[in-house]
Amino acid sequence: MVAAEFEPGMQLLPGLVDWIAEQSFSELADHGVKAQQDLVQAISLSSLATQIELHGQQQGLQQLVEQWKHPAWQREVVNLIEEDPAAFFDAIRVSELVVAQIITQTRIAQQQLDTTREIEVARHAQAPGTDKSQAVPMHSKGQPQGDSTMENTQPAQGQSDGDRAASFAAYNDRVEAMFAERQAVLAVPFADKDRAKNLGAVWFKPQMVWFVPKGLDVAKFKEWDPRDHCLGRTAAEGEVMDSFRKAMDTMGLDSSKEIVADGKWHNVRALSKKGKNLSGAYVLDLVGGRDGTPTGSINNKHTGMSHFWTFDGPVMTPEQKARMRAEALRRAEEADKIQQQAQTTAAKHAAEIVAAGMPASGHGYVQKKGISAEGCVQVPGKVLLNYDEFLGESGRTAIREDQNYLIIPMRNAEGEIRAVQAISEDGSVKSFMRGAQKKGTVAVLGAASLKALCEQAAASAQHVHVANFVEGFATGASYRHATGLPVVVCFDAGNLEAVAAEAAATIPENLVPVIAVDNDQFHIERALGYLAKTLGVNPNSQRGSVVEVLSGKDSVRMVALGDAVADGEWHQAPKGRYRMSLERESESTEVRSITVEATLQDEQRTERLLFSNRGLEAGKTALEAFGERAVVVVPEFKQLAGRPTDWNDMAAMHGETEIARQVRTALAISPLLAAQRQQEQPSRAPQRASSGLQR
């Protein structure tokens, strides 16, 4: 009943009976018996019959009444009450809960049904240039006296079930399109819904908000503006904000400034005991939970501690939730506009920086990494400091005026510059532009853009082409020089996942995506290093256990845990307590990730950190996006001294020939490339098929 669309004339009684039975079973699960559940059903249906019209259900109700009159049923209920008088009052309590839920959902559904009859009438009456004398007159309850304006929106009662479903689907699509072009969202109390509808406001169920359609006078809806309309602002939103501030304080973040509740991440200061300014971030969504409950996340980047927050204060009224939903949408819209403006400005500044650049072949970072500077320029730090995007919110910056910085243009799929990354000569500073677009941007080596790379492949559909997706620029440059293949630099693991998700729908079928990930295989060592530094746990003891970890796509190595115990239980350490838990690969013994929770002796807060092979995880996510035609290539090192992770490390330690060999081996499993080799084999002299690599 609750999940169904309300419509007069529908045969709802069977579903209603089943739903009441399910609810009573859930509420009485500890001690309920069938007689008690039957009693809940009888009380609930008797109450509902006096409060709502169950169209066409009289015969079914009468059958239930006859069932309740049966001596055997009455005897069971009497015996139940004699044995446990409290069972009767429990049945009343549960029936009240059930009836309240059904009444609420019915009111909301009836409200939707009324809206379907009135949207076009209200819009017609309010649309500019409309002859108001021709508007369809309304009954006192808001029902149109004629139905000529509703022909294309209101499903006819005589339609078949299939036609009716199609009509409702078409109507919902139309409302969704209207919502996309809305002028404003509203916070309308239930008591005001009829007035709002008569003015032309529309109810949008997916977001549970009212909105003003395009073409209406927004001023007529001012009283329901979520910024001004008082629906428990102090009691509801104030309590939410206070609760979230306390959570931020507990996590060691500065909560003194305004908290932006737009469902997006915001940077904030993290305060240390020594008063140093460190970094943190938070996200707050006023309607983030399934039932509209405010949710958020808090991250102290200094301690590595994260916390998922849910509002656990007083239950908010429907009116308060309505206001918060509308306000959250309004804030999100404003945040999107501000973000788009900031990204547009940053893109303009990025183009100016690239235009002011000089050849980058002699830059210190290029020479240190032994790579080419394809597609890059360099500029003095004083050039970057002319742009706010390289200054933090506090005005601080890692950019130094007297240094030269390698500038890597960050382009969208079409090749337009959206931002730049600046890298210092020693590589210690890798700075992105604050407020600029990063998600989905790339630097393509071997083509003008990702789109151009795809067009080149599509133009020669008889051949199979390869595009390699990597994280960092130095990694991509080394990989390209070793293989001669085009490379798409995504800048980090998170953006590699985003680029893969966007590119999967556009790359041609004859283009094989090769995901050349970083091998961040030292996650267990990082966890042990954290425990050693923070809590004094000895990682070099020979008394501990040994675990397996993937060192490549298919190879493993053993890691000793020292004195650390990874059993998911709390353990005492010299400087506090910790709990370490391992997650293993599916159907395998290799450790996929390791979670560490730690509490220092002089602090009550618990830090929680997750250590994993981030590069490999990003590769798996990208592989899911691209599908079976993609190939994952993981660098496998013969030596682990210095903890190498990426293809630039591979070039430095084992040479470019080893990169080419590993890539060629990985590409051998590609079905597309294998099919092409078979087609080309008869026309060639007997020799080993080439994958197209230079080396």
Domain range summary for the chain, segments of one domain joined by +: 1-129+136-154, 155-225, 233-330
Whole-number pLDDT of residue 61: 64
Q: Is the pLDDT of residue 55 over 70?
A: no
Least confident of 333-337, 419-423, 596-600: 333-337
Mean pLDDT of 496-513: 93
Split at pLDDT 50, 70, 90, the class of 377 is very high
Q: Could you tell me the CA-to-CA distances from 240 to 186, 231, 257 in Å, in that order?
A: 20, 14, 15
Q: Is the pLDDT of residue 195 over 50?
A: yes
Question: What distance separates the 2 farthest-apart alpha carbons in the chain?
Answer: 98
Q: How many whole angstroms separate alpha carbon 360 and alpha carbon 569?
A: 53
Q: Is the pLDDT of residue 156 over 70?
A: no
What percentage of the chain carries pLDDT values higher than 70?
75
118-127 in b/e form (b: 16+ CB < 10 A) is bbbbbbbbbe
Least confident of 130-144, 267-281, 430-444, 645-659: 130-144
- In the numeric block, the tokens 């940077």 are attached to 267
The encoded tokens of residue 32 equal 């309920």
Compute the radius of gyration of the chain from its Cα atoms. 32
Q: Please list, in sequence order, all residues whose beta carbon lies within 8 angstroms of the beta carbon of residue 540, skipping any fewer than 6 positions away.
A: 562
Burial of 631 (C-beta count, 10 Å sphere; 0-12/13-18/19+): buried
Mean pLDDT of 421-448: 94
Whole-number pLDDT of residue 374: 93
Angle of CA points 322, 324, 329, to nearest 5°: 100
What percentage of the chain carries pLDDT values higher than 90?
39
* Side chain identity, residue 656: E
Local structure of residue 137 (DSSP, 8 states): P
Do 522 and 588 form a contact (C-beta atoms < 8 A)? no
Q: How many whole angstroms separate alpha carbon 366 and alpha carbon 362?
A: 7
Closest residue by Cα to residue 238 from 291, 300, 314: 314
Mean pLDDT, the chain, whole residue set: 79
Strand segments, DSSP code E, in 250-314 are 266-271, 277-285, 295-300, 305-310
Q: How many whole angstroms separate alpha carbon 489 and alpha carbon 92?
A: 65
Q: Is the pLDDT of residue 520 over 90?
A: yes
Least confident of 89-103, 450-464, 572-586: 89-103
Q: Is the pLDDT of residue 499 over 80?
A: yes
Mean pLDDT of 573-585: 92
Q: Is the pLDDT of residue 555 over 60?
A: yes
202-204 and 209-212 strand pairing: antiparallel
Q: Is the pLDDT of residue 31 over 90?
A: no
Mean pLDDT of 282-306: 76
Q: Please list, in sequence order, all residues whose beta carbon lies within 8 angstroms of the beta carbon of residue 451, skipping any fewer than 6 positions away.
A: 413, 414, 415, 506
Phi, psi of 546 (to 5 degrees): -125, 140
Q: What is the SS3 assignment for 445?
A: strand
Q: Is the pLDDT of residue 194 over 80?
A: yes
Q: State the alpha helices, DSSP H only, in 181-301.
A: 193-199, 238-250
Whole-number pLDDT of residue 678: 66
Do 543 and 565 form a contact (C-beta atoms < 8 A)? no
The encoded tokens of residue 63 equal 């059958």
| Cross-strand pairs, 512 | 466
Split at pLDDT 50, 70, 90, the class of 26 is low
Stated pTM of the model: 0.60
Q: What is the SS3 assignment for 210?
A: strand
Over residues 100-141, the pLDDT tens digits come to 667 666 665 565 555 555 555 444 544 445 444 444 333 333
